[in-house]
Amino acid sequence: MKKYFPTIRDYLLIIFSSLIQAISLQLFFIPASLASGGVSGIAQLINSATDWPIGLMVLIGNIPLFILGWRLLGGFKFAMRTGVAILTYSMLIDLLGNNPVFNSYSQALILELKDDIFLNTLYGAIVSGVGYGLVYRARGSSGGSDILARVLNHWRGIPMTQSYLIVDTLVILSAGFVFGWKPALYAMIALYVSGLVAETVLEGGGTVRTAMIVTGRPDEVTNRVIEELQRGVTWLEGKGAYTGNSRPVLYCVVNRAEIATLKAIVHENDPEAFMVIGVAHEALGEGFKPLRGR
């Protein structure tokens, strides 16, 4: 059972993320006429003209994309996880929309936010972003534009960020003709914010700083970093292209609060040192978060 626990956990997380995305759609995007992008946005447009169930339209719209993704992207795990995400998300959209208990509790919130498109945009983006981030943490795909973006990246070599932008922008521009251009503008803002939230949920908020230091006094700098910051230092072999002289390059990772101390240590020991500070999304291992499979 222990062997299958990670897989079971991933599928439960996919189902939970689908519930979060469905709640976001029903509570914020649909009442405010905000197109959510991708297949869900297209389903909203069709629903506004025909009253066909949005969840059913999401399912139908994802079927050809699912087949295309399976053939071009491959992998049984991809197909299973994506299929579960699409099926549960589609079902939950309509189940929540027709559930009297959910509607009774949500109606007050919908009425309160009905005339405030900004709050609908903000809440919808945050909630849906959490849902997207969780499904990515479970190594799944949310279907729709996610599949199409990966296909464009695989087929035409278009970067993933540009692929998402192309797909979702076309949907939102179409929504502008149906719902109006003000909701379309807010929908674009919602897409951007949800992407940031999804990235934070996926990668965590533990942004760290990396430092590469070229100094003539590497021993002194290294000793003080280890003693005062309790951080490890790696020596890399470097050679100056102009002078031809060999000297070590110190590499270390610290958190944001420690960067001022690190700069002070380097300056006090070697004012002529050369230092480059970078930003890393996450640090895993000794002194930081444990390195795990996910």
Q: Under a CB-based contact definition with an 8 Å cutoff, are residues 120 and 34 in contact?
A: yes
Q: Confidence band (pLDDT; 50, 70, 90) for 68?
A: confident
Residue 224 sits in a domain whose CATH number is 3.30.70.120
Q: Which of 115, 141, 131 is nearest to 36 (CA)?
A: 131
Task: Summarize the confidence of residues 206-217 as an average pLDDT.
Answer: 87
Angstrom distance (rounded) from CA 45 to CA 31: 13
Is 291 within a domain? no
Is 285 within a domain? no
Residues 144 and 266 in one domain: no
Is 101 within a domain? yes
Is 241 within a domain? yes
Residues 94 and 124 in one domain: yes
Last residue of a domain, one of 182, 203, 224: 203
Residue 167's pLDDT is: 75
Task: Summarize the confidence of residues 61-75 as an average pLDDT.
Answer: 76
Tens-digit pLDDT profile for residues 215-273: 989 999 999 999 888 889 999 988 888 788 888 899 999 988 788 889 999 999 999 99
Q: Under a CB-based contact definition with an 8 Å cutoff, are residues 266 and 213 in contact?
A: yes
From 162-176, 181-195, 263-277, the region with the lowest mean pLDDT: 162-176
Is 292 within a domain? no
Residues 240 and 180 in one domain: no
Whether 120 shows a pLDDT value over 70: the answer reads: yes
Is 49 within a domain? yes
Residues 66 and 193 in one domain: yes
Residues 78 and 158 in one domain: yes
Residues 47 and 138 in one domain: yes
Residues 27 and 111 in one domain: yes
Q: For residue 254, what are the β-bridge partners?
A: 209
Residue 111's pLDDT is: 74
Is 148 within a domain? yes
What are the angstrom distances between the C-alpha of 206 and each of 5, 75, 129, 201, 256? 26, 31, 18, 11, 9
Domain that holds residue 249: 208-280
Residue 50's pLDDT is: 87
Question: What average pLDDT does the structure give for the chain?
Answer: 83
Residues 143 and 24 in one domain: yes
Q: Confidence band (pLDDT; 50, 70, 90) for 135?
A: confident
Residues 90 and 104 in one domain: yes
Residue 37's pLDDT is: 76
Count: domains in the chain: 2
Q: Confidence band (pLDDT; 50, 70, 90) for 158?
A: low
Tens-digit pLDDT profile for residues 9-42: 889 999 999 999 999 999 899 888 888 878 888 8
Residues 257 and 196 in one domain: no
Last residue of a domain, one of 148, 175, 203: 203
What are the angstrom distances between the C-alpha of 281 and each of 135, 184, 200, 205? 19, 31, 9, 8
Whether 93 shows a pLDDT value over 60: the answer reads: yes
From 3-12, 72-81, 170-179, 245-254, the region with the lowest mean pLDDT: 72-81
What share of the chain in percent tops pLDDT 90?
Answer: 27
Which residues, 6 or more positions from 271, have their beta carbon under 8 angstroms from its beta carbon?
none
Q: Confidence band (pLDDT; 50, 70, 90) for 153?
A: low
Angstrom distance (rounded) from CA 84 to CA 275: 49
Q: Under a CB-based contact definition with an 8 Å cutoff, are residues 143 and 67 in contact?
A: no
Residue 196's pLDDT is: 81
From 11-15, 143-147, 190-194, 277-281, the region with the lowest mean pLDDT: 143-147
Residues 220 and 188 in one domain: no
Is 289 within a domain? no
What are the angstrom distances between the C-alpha of 21 and each of 24, 91, 134, 149, 171? 5, 12, 10, 19, 18
Angstrom distance (rounded) from CA 177 to CA 49: 12
Residues 186 and 218 in one domain: no
